[in-house]
């Protein structure tokens, strides 16, 4: 075997991102929980392989499959814009194990106010870490802005959950089981824009097809955040809508009545099964590298692009996750 050629484009995912199937295959790899088990040394080794290859240096004996594996290990742990290592629970590979635990507990302990408040707080704290870790762009955000966003989003989620809980007191028990989903959906609409408020203030980087940065756009940031909110809500639907129906039926059976302690682990398992598929499939609803027509950008940026790059009609940006 000869040396690996340098014309493999590892700036882009391995599979065609213009199709849903290609994006799904990409995100099944990115969200693989097994990536969490990799050591710091393995992550650094993958980063070195990727950075060396991009610089035109091929690691001796490297195969194409090994290069792609290194790229996906690198992508799973490092932010695409800043290059910083993402905190463990903020990585997309942590979505399934973390969400199955938190969501399972929200769906199990939904009857009492203290447990509703606690698990909504835990969920929004986790979401805050994920939203910050997977933000778009490389603009810094201050501790004060982070604190304000976190407190506002958590307060909004808890208030929504408690308000809906009080409204469903006199409704059938099954309806009450869907309160956590409604609260999570409402909270996503609050949490994600707040945790990414810096992008709405200064914009996110937009590039041409070759990846050359053309400026910053608030319009692109709004579109990217909207797409992420939709993806997150859709991600929650199977995990928070299917298990409650199954559990409502099972809890009426003698088996669970005699073994009530099985309720929580069974619920967590059902949620985990749903999330294994829902997480990558809903991440794939929109391209990671999204596009927007120049005519929809802010007038100043549009004029700048027309002046410096008159042939550019569509720009691209990282929408975040």
Cβ atoms of residues 81 and 206 within 8 Å: no
Other CB atoms closer than 10 Å to residue 278's CB: what's the count? 22
Q: What is the pLDDT along the chain (321 residues), one digit of tens a residue?
A: 457 888 888 888 888 888 999 999 998 988 888 988 988 899 999 999 988 888 888 888 888 888 999 998 988 888 877 778 888 888 888 888 998 888 888 877 877 888 888 988 888 888 778 777 776 656 566 777 778 777 887 787 788 778 877 777 777 766 766 777 777 787 778 778 877 788 888 888 888 887 788 888 899 999 999 999 999 889 888 887 888 788 778 877 887 778 777 777 888 888 888 888 988 999 899 988 888 888 888 888 888 888 888 888 888 888 877
Q: Where are the domains of the chain?
A: 20-85, 92-318
74 — phi, psi (to 5°)?
Answer: -60, -50
Q: What single string gives the DSSP state of each residue in 142-204?
A: -HHHHHHHHHHHHHHHHHHHHHHHHHTTTS-HHHHTTHHHHHHHHHHHHHHHHHTHHHHHH-E
pTM for the full predicted model? 0.74
Instruction: Output DSSP code: residue 253.
Output: S
Q: Give the DSSP letter of residue 55.
A: T
DSSP letter (8 states) at residue 11? T
């Amino acid at each position: 075997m000869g040396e690996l050629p340098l014309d493999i484009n590892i700036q882009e995912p391995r599979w065609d991102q213009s199709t849903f199937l290609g994006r799904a295959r990409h995100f099944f790899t990115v969200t693989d929980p097994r990536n969490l088990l990799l050591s710091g040394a393995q992550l650094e080794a993958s980063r070195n392989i990727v950075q060396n290859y991009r610089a035109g240096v091929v690691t001796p004996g490297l195969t194409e499959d090994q290069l792609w594996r290194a790229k996906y290990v690198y992508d799973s742990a490092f932010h695409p814009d800043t290059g910083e290592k993402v905190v463990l629970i903020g990585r997309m590979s942590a979505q399934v194990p973390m969400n199955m635990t938190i969501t399972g507990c929200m769906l199990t302990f939904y009857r009492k106010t203290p447990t509703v408040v606690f698990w909504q707080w835990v969920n929004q704290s986790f979401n805050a870490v994920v939203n910050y870790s997977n933000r778009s762009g490389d603009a810094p955000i201050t501790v004060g802005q982070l604190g304000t966003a976190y407190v506002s989003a958590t307060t909004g989620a808890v208030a929504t959950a408690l308000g809906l809980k009080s409204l469903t007191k006199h409704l059938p028990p099954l309806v009450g089981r869907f309160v956590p989903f409604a609260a999570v959906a409402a909270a996503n609409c609050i949490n994600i824009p707040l945790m990414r408020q810096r992008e709405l203030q200064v914009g996110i980087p937009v590039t041409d097809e070759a990846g050359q940065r053309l400026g910053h756009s608030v319009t692109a940031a709004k579109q990217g955040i909207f797409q992420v909110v939709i993806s997150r809500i859709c991600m929650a639907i199977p995990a928070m809508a299917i298990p409650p129906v199954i559990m409502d039926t099972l809890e009426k059976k003698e088996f669970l009545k005699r073994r009530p302690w099985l309720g929580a682990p069974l619920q967590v398992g059902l949620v985990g099964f749903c999330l294994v598929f829902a997480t990558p499939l809903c991440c794939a609803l929109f391209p990671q590298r999204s596009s927007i027509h120049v005519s929809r950008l802010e007038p100043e940026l549009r004029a700048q692009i027309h002046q410096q790059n008159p042939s550019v009609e569509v720009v691209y940006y990282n929408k975040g996750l």
